[in-house]
Amino acid sequence: MISLEVVALSPYAREWAADLARRRGARRFRDHSGRGIELGEWQPSDWAALVAMYGSSDGARHGTGLPPLSMERRAVWLEQLLSRGPNVVARVSGRIVGHAALVAYDRGDSHELVVLVHSDYRGAGIGGALVDSLLRLARRDSVDRIWLTFDPANRAAAALFQQKGFRPAPDGGPESIAALSWGVHVWTLALSDESRNRSAALKRALSTLASASRIRLRAFVNAVRLVMIPLVCALVIAVASEDPRGRTLALALAVASLGFGVVVHGRAIVLGRPGREHEPNDSPMSTGEWLAKLR
């Protein structure tokens, strides 16, 4: 009998375990053409399939001349992508048809986003899914600043990156200066700003919820105060009465009194907004007009 230790050390077992872990972490969806797509982090076993994809896809090259056309230079360039940040690939029936990478620069202070989809699979939502997966990994790894380049004539890329939160690099910055020399558009995304915006939105939501809760509580207290006298009398009668019918009538009166108060302040209790009695008066009356109205 083969021992479990031998099975565990077998390269086939390790390969099977690695493939199982990759598949568990993968995300599956159908693109706009109905094809089943699997998204997941790059694995060393994907090297040959990645090289084949870049070799078979037509020239989806940046204005900077990337990816290189030479096979040797393309392999060196691809090694740089795979070694300097997270990478995500899109698979169809085991074949890689899309790739996105974050390439660290300035000791990790900024990352360039590179994304390419095989020419046979473009326009089907795979590029957007790759960018979404890569941004999730960037947030996981606490990446702060991301930038990317694309051809000004590529309107589809501009629409995609704008939807994901990227904006043109500010004038005078290093990216905008580089863009002028390369003849490309350079856009940036600050995930720290995104986090601050989410935090501010959460604080506003919590503040609104707390304010609505205070208004509801105050309105309920006011409803009880409005019917305090009949409510207290009815409760006293219900406690003191020895007749079951009298006790029932007293409790019904208490419930009706409380219900009346709740109806009067119902808007504030239900909606969490001040009732009309709390709204500002657009045409305040003078004291004389108020006294005349009382008469």
Question: pLDDT, tens digit, for every residue of 190-239?
Answer: 886 555 555 556 666 777 788 888 888 888 888 888 888 888 888 888 88
Residue with the larger pLDDT of the pair 84 and 59 = 84
Q: Please state the rounded mean pLDDT for residues 159-169.
A: 89
User: What does the pLDDT look like over 179-202, one tens digit per residue?
Assistant: 666 677 888 888 865 555 555 566
Residue 283 has pLDDT above 70, yes or no: no
Cα of first residue to Cα of last residue in the chain, in angstroms, is 106
Residue 107 has pLDDT above 90, yes or no: no
Residue with the larger pLDDT of the pair 198 and 140 = 140
Phi-psi region of 175 (alpha: psi -120 to 50; beta: other; left: phi over 0): alpha
Tokens of 194: 């995104």
Identify which of 82, 88, 78, 101 has the alpha carbon closest to the alpha carbon of residue 38.
88
pLDDT at 126 (0 to 100): 94
Q: Going from the N-terminus, what domains does the chain have, and what CATH number goes with each?
A: 7-143 (3.40.630.30), 197-294 (no CATH)
Tokens of 82: 């795979």
56 neighbors 75 (Cβ within 8 angstroms): no
* Of 21-35, 102-116, 272-286, minimum mean pLDDT range: 272-286
Cis before residue 67, ω within 30 degrees of 0? yes
Q: What angle do CA 29, 33, 62 make, to 5 degrees?
A: 90
* Of 21-35, 36-50, 54-68, 254-268, minimum mean pLDDT range: 54-68
Residue 164 has pLDDT above 50, yes or no: yes
User: What does the pLDDT look like over 123-137, one tens digit per residue?
Assistant: 899 999 999 999 999
Q: How many CA atoms lie within 13 A of 204 on its CB side?
A: 6
Q: Please state the rounded mean pLDDT for residues 107-123.
A: 87
Residue 46 has pLDDT above 60, yes or no: yes
* Of 49-63, 69-83, 104-118, minimum mean pLDDT range: 49-63
Residue 121 has pLDDT above 70, yes or no: yes
Residue 276 has pLDDT above 90, yes or no: no
Q: How many CA atoms lie within 13 A of 57 on its CB side?
A: 26
pLDDT at 175 (0 to 100): 61
Interatomic CA distance for residues 26 and 40, integer angstroms: 4
Interatomic CA distance for residues 240 and 127, integer angstroms: 76
Q: How far is CA 139 from CA 41, 145, 191, in A?
A: 15, 10, 7
The pTM for the full model equals 0.57
Place of tokens 């205070």: 214
Q: Please state the rounded mean pLDDT for residues 77-81.
A: 89
